[in-house]
Chain A
């Protein structure tokens, strides 16, 4: 069981370049999330998707866009990368029944380590 799969694992970009981080889950979860993790800052929510076809901003959305391509896949795009976006990015998913969250934890991918020069 793969769970949550993120690609790539590592990436180095130059300032101004664009890039899409990919995330896929095989647990049939409705809700998916993108976080960034920086030293001393914990995990902060960038965007989330409660269900296929919907996306919403989290705590730190500026400089990012997302696409919920289908139930399995949720991508994060940096249109014009900036050094402040150097971070480790985690995708997560969670089960949901209708409009109610199921009492189960979020499951995380292994992360993408992104450096922007």
Chain B
């Protein structure tokens, strides 16, 4: 059963702690993405990766970091430098440059609450 998994579904952290959100896909997609969703603001791109061992900043990368060591995995670290980290985080993937299709497939999301 192909798809994207994100874990955990809910995550609680104290202010000042770094936290890593997991994203795994078994769709054999080249490209992966991280979005942040806040009420009334749609989805904002944090980081994206079009190929293993390479990634680019999106529109709101400050306070976040990523790695792409394996094709199927794209973890996101929310660092203590992120001023307002409480949000719903969505991971997505697409066939990328190897395909002609531009649609992205989304995971179920992780809701992060920092207090």
Pair from one complex: no
Taking beta carbons and an 8 Å cutoff, which residues of A are in contact with B? none
Taking beta carbons and an 8 Å cutoff, which residues of B are in contact with A? none
